[in-house]
Structure 1
């Protein structure tokens, strides 16, 4: 059994394992839930190892960001270095494969825990950014939305000595600047109210997904016949809740992810290769009439 993947290469999966997936998935409309593992091929680091443990210190929480000016200085100084990779990332094969499955009519849509917008760049139309968008910044007082690139240009003008710094890039536009004094870093003011805290329009750890966004995501899942989890350990409840809900509805749950997840006991089928799993779907799910 040889399956053509989007691109110029082939994978030769195990017949028995993927024949089982092919048999289970045919005729089903999928809701896809994606996590950081789908974007690592685009050069964006992920948070957890194959056991589901943190690879690095836990990211800044919403409460810390809002309460501490020093923490905000640290965040934006590191972001001036790390966000360049996130902003310049391009969709990988998996993003393009999912866009093709949507074009063929087999997806109810994608719920992504990522903030990189790579699904949209790949051409997928029905995407819910569960944890928000890293390319936008919101004033927490007057609710003004700004383009993050424009804010970074302003921050670079305010802090020219920080622009040329080099550091190892971390997940979601962060960078590892250690043993650095952030006290001199100048923060930008909101251009409308001048007093509000500017924060990336993403759900930080310790914050909650908004009810309207959660309701839209649950509605997307309700329009599907099965849930497909790709590249997520589901250790964070905001993603795990969809697997738990699908299981309660007796909905099949497929997973393409390397290593342990929080929902392993709920899966109908699991494979550790995203590329091979998506190649199987493309092979057995032709364009709808």
Structure 2
């Protein structure tokens, strides 16, 4: 836990400027068993994830991704809300938090009971056809994928935050199901990959939530990716208080009104208990 003075200062700012808009990153889901991307210095802990360009342009890259996701998505798909998600839902219910913009694709905020959530980078539980935009539940797509590629689901590997896994093998024989509606051969998780852009209507909706709030509170994000950092920059330019709860360095450290470096779930649970 942070020291008492920092906690009191954070509580004061939250109540003075609330309800606040929250921006969350991978750090809020680590206690749910989903690993994060970066270390305390903001550096990659593992190889960077799949890019949009590689996925769209290379059949071999798609074979590799879908085979590995049969292993990695099991952790993501079975994860349950942790202390941070439950505390943020309670803070929304008590009027401290107005909305959550999340960079995560795990839907754990919604599972915990948060109502005003924007999935900035999309949803990992859906798969979209890149031709007709038809959507499938990812579990159903994985069942189909597993039927075509028996044995892959039973392998073990270290999982990644986005449902990928650190597995190296011969992926050349992996069969990828085509769209059942139009037959197109590129089906992609309905998430924003590195190198792609957040859909403009979704981005505008998130900016509107921030503009309506009294402050921005960054939680569990290093903000190293511009899609998240832009909200910190926007809040700073609008002279809104910019608060942070994160373990380690962030891209916006010189912009924060107050930064608390402390365990996220424990700190949020204490704040939620004090706000009841």
Determine if contact 2:26/2:104 at 8 Å carries over to the other structure: yes
Show the counterpart of 1:208.
Answer: 197
Q: 1:19 aligns with which of 8, 20, 23?
A: 8
Determine if contact 1:256/1:272 at 8 Å carries over to the other structure: yes
Q: Distance in 2 between matches of 1:43 and 1:109?
A: 24
Q: Distance in 2 between matches of 1:197 and 1:137?
A: 10
Alignment of 1:220-231 (within 5 A): 220-231=209-220
Determine if contact 1:170/1:176 at 8 Å carries over to the other structure: yes
Show the counterpart of 1:99.
Answer: 89
Any unmatched runs of 5+ in structure 1? Answer: 1-10
Say which SS state the counterpart of residue 22 (structure 2) adopts: strand
Q: Distance in 1 between matches of 2:9 and 2:26?
A: 26
Any unmatched runs of 5+ in structure 2? Answer: none
Whether 2:116 is the aligned partner of 1:126: answer yes
Whether 2:64 is the aligned partner of 1:74: answer yes
Deviations 1:38-66 (A, max 9, x none): 10000001111100011111111000000
Say which SS state the counterpart of residue 190 (structure 2) adopts: strand
TM-score by length of 2: 0.96
Q: Distance in 2 between matches of 1:177 and 1:269?
A: 40
Determine if contact 1:47/1:171 at 8 Å carries over to the other structure: yes
Q: 2:234 aligns with which of 233, 245, 265?
A: 245
Determine if contact 2:126/2:137 at 8 Å carries over to the other structure: yes
Q: 1:234 aligns with which of 207, 223, 238?
A: 223
Say which SS state the counterpart of residue 38 (structure 2) adopts: coil
Show the counterpart of 2:35.
Answer: 45
Deviations 1:211-264 (A, max 9, x none): 000000001111110111000000000000000000001000110101100000
Q: CA deviation at 1:162?
A: 1.4
Which runs of 4 or more aligned residues in structure 1 lie more than 3 Å from their structure 2 counterparts after TM superposition? Answer: 283-286
Show the counterpart of 2:52.
Answer: 62
Q: Distance in 1 between matches of 2:141 and 2:4?
A: 51
Deviations 1:264-284 (A, max 9, x none): 011111111223542453255
Show the counterpart of 2:260.
Answer: 271
Whether 2:19 is the aligned partner of 1:29: answer yes
Alignment of 1:135-284 (within 5 A): 135-178=125-168, 180-273=169-262, 274-284=264-274
Q: Distance in 2 between matches of 1:109 and 1:139?
A: 30
Q: Distance in 2 between matches of 1:168 and 1:282?
A: 33
Q: CA deviation at 1:106?
A: 2.1
Determine if contact 1:111/1:217 at 8 Å carries over to the other structure: yes
Show the counterpart of 2:78.
Answer: 88
Flag the 1:276–1:158 CA change in 2: closer, same or farther, 3 A: closer
TM-score by length of 1: 0.92
Show the counterpart of 1:8.
Answer: none
Q: Distance in 2 between matches of 1:136 and 1:256?
A: 30
Q: Distance in 1 between matches of 2:44 and 2:93?
A: 36
Count of aligned pairs: 274
